[in-house]
A and B are shown apart, each in its own frame.
Chain A
Amino acid sequence: MNADPTAWERRSVTLVVPPVQPRKLAKVPFVELADGRLQGVVSSGSDIGRVYVSFIAAGTHDFNCSTNNNRPCGGLYGSPCKHLNSLVAEAIVQYGAGRVARYLRVDGAETVETSHDLIRRLTGGHEPGSAAVVFSRFLRHLGYLELPASTAPLAEMHWFPSTGAVR
Chain B
Amino acid sequence: MLDVQLGALDTGLPPGVEEALGLVSAFDETLGTGLGRLSQEGAQAVTGLAAAVAATPLGDRAVEAADKIATGSVAGDHLTMLAGARAALLGAVADALLARLDEALGRTRAQWEEPAAGPAEAPENLLVGCRSWLHEVAITGWRGVGHDLVAASDQAIEAMFGEPALRRAAVLLDGLAAELRASSPVATMEKLPERRWADLWTRALMLTQPGRAGADPGVPVSGRLLILGADVHEHATAVQVQVHGLLEPKDGGTPRLVRTAISATKVDTVVGPAVWGVLQDYPALLGALARHLSLDLTDMPLLASGDLLWDDAKAAVGELAAPFAVARVQLAGALAPAGPPIDRHPVAIAEPVFVEGYKAVKAGEGIEFRLGDQAIAVATDRLPGCGPLTPQLLATSTACIGLLRWDGRWLLQPLAVQSTVKRQQVAVHNGDWALGPTDPKVVKSLARSGDAVAVLRERAGRLLRK
Q: Check B233 for interface membership: any CB of A closer than 8 A.
A: yes
Chain A 85-97, CB-CB to B under 8 Å as 1, else 0, gives: 0000000001000
Q: Check A15 for interface membership: any CB of B closer than 8 A.
A: yes
The listed residue (B240, B274, B413, B463) touching A157 by CB distance below 8 A is B240
Q: Check B266 for interface membership: any CB of A closer than 8 A.
A: yes
In the complex, are the beta carbons of B450 and A153 less than 8 A apart? no
Q: Check A132 for interface membership: any CB of B closer than 8 A.
A: no
Instruction: Give how many B residues have a beta carbon under 8 Å from the other chain's beta carbons.
Output: 109
Segment of A23-31, A76-84, A120-128 in the binding face: A23-31
The listed residue (A20, A49, A154, A167) touching B240 by CB distance below 8 A is A154
In the complex, are the beta carbons of A156 and B196 less than 8 A apart? no
In the docked arrangement, what's the CA distance between A152 and B262, Å? 7
Q: Which 7 A-B pairs have the closest CB atoms?
A: A1-B22, A157-B233, A162-B384, A6-B408, A166-B385, A162-B234, A22-B449
Q: Using Cβ atoms and an 8 Å threshold, which residues of chain B touch A24?
A: 448-450, 455
In the complex, are the beta carbons of B183 and A154 less than 8 A apart? no
Q: Check B182 for interface membership: any CB of A closer than 8 A.
A: yes
In the docked arrangement, what's the CA distance between A150 and B238, Å? 11
Q: Using Cβ atoms and an 8 Å threshold, which residues of chain B touch A142?
A: 267, 456, 459-460, 463-464
In the complex, are the beta carbons of A144 and B234 less than 8 A apart? no
Nearest CB in chain A: distance from B78 CB, A: 24
Q: Using Cβ atoms and an 8 Å threshold, which residues of chain B touch A144?
A: 161, 237, 265-267
The listed residue (B168, B178, B455) touching A154 by CB distance below 8 A is B168
B residues contacting A by CB (< 8 A) are 13, 18, 21-22, 25-26, 28, 147, 151, 154, 158, 161, 164, 167-168, 171-172, 175, 178-179, 181-184, 191-196, 199-200, 203, 207, 215, 231-240, 242, 259-272, 274-275, 278-279, 281-282, 303, 305, 307, 309-311, 340, 342-343, 345-348, 350, 379, 381-386, 389-390, 407-409, 413, 442, 445-446, 448-450, 452-453, 455-457, 459-460, 462-464
Q: Using Cβ atoms and an 8 Å threshold, which residues of chain B touch A153?
A: 240, 242, 259, 261, 303, 305, 307
- Given A150-B167, A155-B168, A157-B263, the answer on whether A29 and B456 have CB atoms closer than 8 Å is yes
In the complex, are the beta carbons of B196 and A13 less than 8 A apart? yes
Q: Check A14 for interface membership: any CB of B closer than 8 A.
A: yes
- Given A19-B385, A35-B147, the answer on whether A160 and B233 have CB atoms closer than 8 Å is yes
Q: Return 22 A-B CB contacts under 8 Å, by A number.
A: A1-B22, A4-B408, A5-B408, A9-B192, A22-B449, A23-B449, A142-B456, A142-B460, A142-B463, A149-B282, A151-B262, A153-B261, A155-B340, A156-B168, A157-B234, A160-B234, A160-B238, A162-B234, A162-B384, A163-B381, A166-B272, A167-B272
In the docked arrangement, what's the CA distance between A34 and B311, Å? 38
In the complex, are the beta carbons of A11 and B168 less than 8 A apart? no
In the docked arrangement, what's the CA distance between A142 and B261, Å? 24
Q: Check A119 for interface membership: any CB of B closer than 8 A.
A: no
In the docked arrangement, what's the CA distance between A43 and B463, Å? 11
In the complex, are the beta carbons of A3 and B261 less than 8 A apart? no
The listed residue (B158, B193, B453) touching A8 by CB distance below 8 A is B193
The listed residue (B168, B234, B408) touching A10 by CB distance below 8 A is B408
In the complex, are the beta carbons of B193 and A147 less than 8 A apart? no
Q: Using Cβ atoms and an 8 Å threshold, which residues of chain B touch A11?
A: 193, 195-196, 407-408
In the complex, are the beta carbons of A161 and B232 less than 8 A apart? yes
The listed residue (A12, A21, A26, A161) touching B196 by CB distance below 8 A is A12
In the docked arrangement, what's the CA distance between A153 and B275, Å? 17
In the complex, are the beta carbons of A149 and B281 less than 8 A apart? yes
In the docked arrangement, what's the CA distance between A144 and B456, Å? 10
- Given A154-B261, A160-B235, the answer on whether A7 and B408 have CB atoms closer than 8 Å is yes
Give chain A's interface residue range (CB within 8 Å of chain B).
Answer: 35 or more
- Given A5-B409, A26-B455, A33-B182, the answer on whether A164 and B385 have CB atoms closer than 8 Å is yes
In the complex, are the beta carbons of A164 and B233 less than 8 A apart? no
Nearest CB in chain B: distance from A78 CB, A: 27
The listed residue (A145, A151, A157) touching B456 by CB distance below 8 A is A145
A34 to chain B: closest residue by CB: B181
- Given A17-B236, A153-B307, A156-B203, the answer on whether A22 and B261 have CB atoms closer than 8 Å is no
In the complex, are the beta carbons of A43 and B278 less than 8 A apart? no
- Given A153-B303, A163-B382, the answer on whether A145 and B453 have CB atoms closer than 8 Å is yes
In the complex, are the beta carbons of B343 and A155 less than 8 A apart? yes
In the complex, are the beta carbons of A164 and B389 less than 8 A apart? yes
Q: Using Cβ atoms and an 8 Å threshold, which residues of chain B touch A51?
A: 459, 463
In the complex, are the beta carbons of B271 and A20 less than 8 A apart? yes
- Given A10-B194, A164-B384, the answer on whether A151 and B261 have CB atoms closer than 8 Å is yes
In the docked arrangement, what's the CA distance between A143 and B13, Å? 45
B193, B199, B350 — most chain A CB neighbours (10 Å): B193
Q: Using Cβ atoms and an 8 Å threshold, which residues of chain B touch A1?
A: 18, 21-22, 25-26
- Given A94-B269, A156-B171, A157-B171, the answer on whether A151 and B196 have CB atoms closer than 8 Å is no
In the complex, are the beta carbons of A25 and B456 less than 8 A apart? yes
